[in-house]
Structure formats: C-alpha cells, structure tokens
Copies of this chain bind each other. A is one copy, B any other.
Amino acid sequence: MKNFSPKILVVGTGAIGSLYGAKLAQAGAEVSVLCRSDYELVKKQGISVKSHWGDLHFTPKEVLREVSEYKEKADFILVATKVLPDVSVPYLIRPAMSQNTSVILIQNGIFIEKEIAEAFPNNNLISTIAFVDVIKDGAGSIIHAGDGRLTFGNYRNPNAEKIEQLIALCNKVEMPCKYVEDIQLERWKKLLWNASFNPISVIAGGLNTKEILDNILVKNLVRDVMYEVALLAKAQGYEISTDFIDDTISLTHTRKSPARTSMLLDFEAGRKMEVGAILGNVLEFAKEKSIATPYLSTLHALISCY
C-alpha cells in the first residue's frame, strides 16, 4: 500500500461522520472535519466516541468552519451529511475537490449519488452504506451502540487503489467492511428496511421495531411495503427474493434491542427527516416507470404531515 496515511476530510460531522472519521484517524489517516454547529467545542476538545468497539478520543487534524479553509488536497472526502433538500453536497465540497479526490458517500436512501456524480463527473465516487446504531448525545460526543459495518461500492469511475486503501484502513482497526460489485442492489435491499420501518415508526405514533412487528396488522403492512420496494427494484433489474424480505423482517423482530429508526429519532428531536432520500426519490422512479405504489405513496403522504 503506497499511502497508509491518506488525507481525509469529513463533511457532516454528526454521529456517522464522527464515528467513521474517528476510526479512520485511529487507523492512521489524516482526518480533518467540517464542523459548523459544534466548531468551538470540537476544536478545543475533539470528539469523544463511546463505542462497543472500544471507546476512543478523536482529535481531528484540522477543524473547519468552511470547506474553503481546508489547506490540503483531500485523497478522500467522506460525506456523511443528512440527505435534505436544503443541503447541496456538491456546493459544500467543491472547494476541497481535486482531480484525485475520491468521494465516499455514506448516506441513507436511494438515487442519492446522482447529484454528486453529475457535479464531479471525473471523480471516483464510492457509494457506501453503513449498518450502524450510533447517536450524537451532545456536542463533540457520540455513542456507538451497535453494528457498524460499511459496504463500499464504486458508483462512478472505479479506482481499485482507493478501495484497497479504504479497506486496508478498516482492517487495521478491525472495523467490519465489505466491497461489493453492485452497490445499487445493496441500496435497494437497505431501502426495503428504510422505506417501511422509518416512516411507520413515526406515523404509528412513535414505535420501535419490536412494537411495530408485534402488531400483526402493521407487520403485514411492513411486508407489503417491502414487496412494493422489491417490485421497483425489479424494474431496475434487481431481484430481491421473498425469502430475503421474510428474513429481513424476522431478523429485525428478534434482534436483542429493538431499534428506534433514524426518522423517529430525527422527528423526536425536532430535526428534519430524510423523507426525500427514503421515499421521495423512489416514488419519482416509480412514476417514471408507471408503477403503482399505493403503500409507499400512503406513507409518503402521511409522513409529510410530520
């Protein structure tokens, strides 16, 4: 490996960005962070990470208020902002982008890579899915309670060396990760879960995954939503089996600690929810393909009231 100390800029230093920034720094990367709301505190104290992988303290190389302050050429820009209509990632990261910069996009939802791919058509774009239970419990402090595996895939302009570097860094700190040839299939699979549990958890009045699945009517609704997502995946050429759907439901039902979805956490904290990434985009796709989506449309309409 030529470069075991790549320069990484984390944009979006919430729970996810902080966790993976901290781990990559622990693995030896030079990690700087864009951190606007907690700038003063993070600059002074860094970020405290309570993790089931072992607690650690993360002192970023640089703490920035604006990406334009970044003095390096980033090897990677790790984007972990929420997917919201008022956040333009290309605008945000442009000042730090160079020809050799890879974008690692760790975000929820589907069809979320398009804007970045169009804005930086020649850059390597690594679309990444995090299966992780991590929350920010205060300024400069996060709690990582469960899971954490990253799934990487090349979305545009594959660069084998960059993926190898990333995986080497993860391995160095024993952070579980995998590389997949087709990240879009993984996005569809994760969307099964997100498009059902996320809105239902809010609309049903604030339920965790166990409460949702203990109600047989709602469990059936979860399954119907998942079938609808699978039908849309199929329209894009991705086959998701009934078995996979059943397994997803049953693994969610039997997990040790019931999950409160990210949408529910956002709603309860008065933050904006990622409705577009999780429902809006896929409904646009369905419309293009003229596929009826009664379940997803109903959830989309109802969540829009929250």
Q: Give A residues with C-beta under 8 Å from B.
A: 200, 203-205, 207, 215, 217-218, 220-221, 224, 294-295, 297-302, 304-306
What residue in chain B is nearest A228 (Cβ atoms)? B294
Assess whether B294 is in contact with A224, with CB atoms less than 8 Å apart: yes
Among A205, A218, A298, A301, the one with the most B-chain Cβ atoms within 10 Å of its Cβ is: A298
**Nearest Cβ on chain B to A25's Cβ, whole angstroms:** 42
Complex alpha-carbon distance, A220 and B294, angstroms? 11
Complex alpha-carbon distance, A300 and B216, angstroms? 11
Assess whether A224 is in contact with B305, with CB atoms less than 8 Å apart: no
Complex alpha-carbon distance, A304 and B294, angstroms? 19
Cβ 8 A contact of A203, one of B215, B217, B302: B302
Task: Give the number of copies in the complex.
Answer: 2
Interface residue SS majority, chain A: helix
Among A203, A220, A302, the one with the most B-chain Cβ atoms within 10 Å of its Cβ is: A302
Complex alpha-carbon distance, A282 and B304, angstroms? 27
**Nearest Cβ on chain B to A287's Cβ, whole angstroms:** 12
Assess whether B305 is in contact with A298, with CB atoms less than 8 Å apart: no
Which residues of B are found within 8 Å of A295, using beta-carbon distances?
A: 294, 298
Assess whether B301 is in contact with A215, with CB atoms less than 8 Å apart: yes
What residue in chain B is nearest A212 (Cβ atoms)? B305
